[in-house]
Amino acid sequence: MIIAGGFDKAFIGTGSRCGCEDIAVYDANKCIEVLMKQGMTDEEAVEYFEYNVLGSWIGDITPVFLYTHDIDEIAGGNNAKTNGKT
């Protein structure tokens, strides 16, 4: 499993997919907070994170960076239907 260096405080667990090695999962917003604690402004931290962290791909073992949302934000307020099912 690949670990994203410097983001230990943002680590939230592991993710699994059929036929693939488990991957590290991080809270994306906490990663940005870590960068801000290192002296970056909010804008600098977001730009750095998006380009240098999210923009890094090392194959199927690349860590996942999770943004949390309320289901209503994603479903547009209608969470009765998911994947075509009621």
In this prediction, residue 78 carries a pLDDT of 59
pTM, to two decimals: 0.81
pLDDT digits (tens, 9 = 90+) for 24-49: 999 999 999 999 999 999 999 999 99
Q: Which of 32-36, 64-68, 70-74 has the lowest mean pLDDT?
A: 70-74
| Residue where the block lists tokens 């960076």 | 65
Domain ranges of the chain: 27-86
For the chain, the first-to-last Cα distance in angstroms comes to 36
* 81 pLDDT higher than 50: no
Beta bridge partners of 23: 15
Strand 11-15 and strand 23-27: pairing? antiparallel
